């Protein structure tokens, strides 16, 4: 069997999902800083497309104002372009897939399956409070559009989360907590396996030196055990 060349290598994709205002963009910024992923927000790409004066601009603007989901073809093209232009091989795709059409079309076109889905779970009252004090001048940050976006989230986006949950791919996070606490939970999920093994090994070594100063040396087999613990 031949080897897979670099050109054929699939990027690592993490889908970042959660209701409007749940904190996806905020947490993605910290993940980028700490773990080096490239952050692609579908909403940001669509807003940039409006600004660029593209022929789809007016259609996208109207859909965003109404809290509706833009046809997958448009959004996927923007995501693919951004991925091709990046030299990175690990991406956080934020706010996508937003409905079943988004999900199926992305998989069919790119043949990429997400490594997992980070799902930010937050009550509507908290998301509403956050959006109303966001102050970024977004056309959809008003109470009328917020209500529509909540409805679309419940009816179209949650089924996508449930789909990935049925495949064991959802990592759910309590996003109602303060930013720093949410990020601690994120870190526990994103931290590469090797780092966790190192951490567990040090913890066991420390425990040994405190509780049993003259205890048995840490053997290779006991480190092997740590590896099994740190999944």
Ligand X SMILES: Nc1ccn([C@@H]2O[C@H](COP(=O)(O)O)[C@@H](O)[C@H]2O)c(=O)n1
69 binds, among ligand ATP, Mg ion, ligand X, none (CB under 5 to 8 A by kind): ligand X
Structure tokens belonging to residue 85: 């232009």
User: Which parts of 26-45 interact with ligand ATP (CB under 6 A)?
Assistant: 26, 43
39 binds, among Mg ion, ligand X, ligand ATP, none (CB under 5 to 8 A by kind): none
| 67 contacts ligand ATP (rule: CB under 6 A) | no
Is the N-terminal amide bond of 97 cis, ω within 30° of 0? yes
Structure tokens belonging to residue 18: 């959660």
Whether 19 and 148 have beta carbons less than 8 Å apart is answered as: no
| 68 contacts ligand X (rule: CB under 6 A) | yes
**Binding residue per annotation — 103?**
no
| 161 contacts ligand X (rule: CB under 6 A) | no
Angle (nearest 5°) at CA 153 between 131 and 183: 55
CA distances from 127 to 22, 27, 203 (A): 6, 14, 37
22 binds, among ligand X, ligand ATP, Mg ion, none (CB under 5 to 8 A by kind): ligand ATP
The DSSP letter of residue 54 is -
| 96 contacts ligand X (rule: CB under 6 A) | yes
**Binding residue per annotation — 210?**
no
Nearer of residues 19 and 25 to Mg ion, judged by Cβ: 25
* Residues in the annotated binding site for CMP: 102
């Amino acid at each position: 069997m031949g080897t897979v060349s670099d050109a054929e290598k699939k990027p690592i994709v993490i889908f970042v999902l959660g209701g409007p205002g749940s904190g996806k963009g905020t947490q993605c910024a910290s993940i980028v800083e700490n773990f080096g992923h490239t952050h692609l927000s579908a909403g940001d790409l669509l807003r940039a497309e409006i600004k660029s004066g593209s022929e789809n601009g007016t259609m996208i603007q109207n859909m965003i104002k109404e809290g509706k989901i833009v046809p997958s073809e448009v959004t996927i093209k923007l995501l693919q372009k951004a991925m091709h232009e990046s030299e990175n091989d690990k991406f956080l795709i934020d706010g996508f897939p937003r409905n079943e059409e988004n999900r199926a079309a992305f998989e069919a076109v790119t043949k990429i399956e997400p490594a997992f889905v980070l799902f930010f779970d937050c009550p509507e009252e908290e998301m509403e409070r956050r959006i109303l004090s966001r102050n970024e001048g977004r056309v959809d940050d008003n109470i009328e559009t917020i209500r529509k976006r909540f409805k679309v989230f419940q009816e179209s986006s949650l089924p996508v989360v449930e789909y990935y949950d049925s495949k064991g791919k959802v990592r759910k996070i309590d996003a109602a907590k303060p930013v720093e606490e949410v990020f601690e939970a994120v870190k526990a999920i994103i931290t590469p396996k090797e780092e966790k093994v190192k951490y567990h090994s040090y913890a066991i070594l420390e425990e040994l030196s405190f509780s049993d100063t003259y205890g048995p040396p840490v053997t290779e087999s006991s480190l092997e055990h740590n590896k099994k613990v740190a999944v």
